[in-house]
């Protein structure tokens, strides 16, 4: 299950990065609110990925501290 969370985190990060990079040249035509969505996606994806890494490493090393972190 933790591996799927890592993949989900990466997908969310990549989606936010693609939106940010592909549509950045439209910044003169759209408001600032449009740019908050890709940044939020990148931040949330990063958090999901880090938490999933703690879970995977904790399960692999059988570390109760890392598993409780999740």
Q: What is the DSSP letter of 24?
A: G
DSSP 25-60: GGTTTS-THHHHHHHHHHHHHHHHHHHHHHHHHHHH
Give the pLDDT band of residue 9 (cuts 50, 70, 90): confident
**Which tokens hold the place of 55?**
């879970």
Which pLDDT belongs to residue 69?
67
Tens of pLDDT along 11-70?
888 888 888 888 777 666 666 666 677 888 888 888 888 888 887 787 778 878 777 766
Query: What is the domain partition of the chain in residue ranges?
Result: 3-60
Give Cα 17 to chain centroid, integer Å: 10
């Amino acid at each position: 299950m933790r591996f799927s969370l890592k993949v989900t985190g990466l997908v969310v990060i990549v989606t936010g990065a693609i939106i940010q990079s592909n549509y950045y040249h439209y910044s003169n035509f759209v408001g600032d609110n449009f740019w908050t969505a890709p940044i939020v996606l990148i931040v949330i994806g990063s958090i999901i990925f880090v938490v999933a890494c703690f879970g995977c490493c904790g399960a692999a090393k059988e570390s109760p501290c890392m598993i409780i972190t999740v």
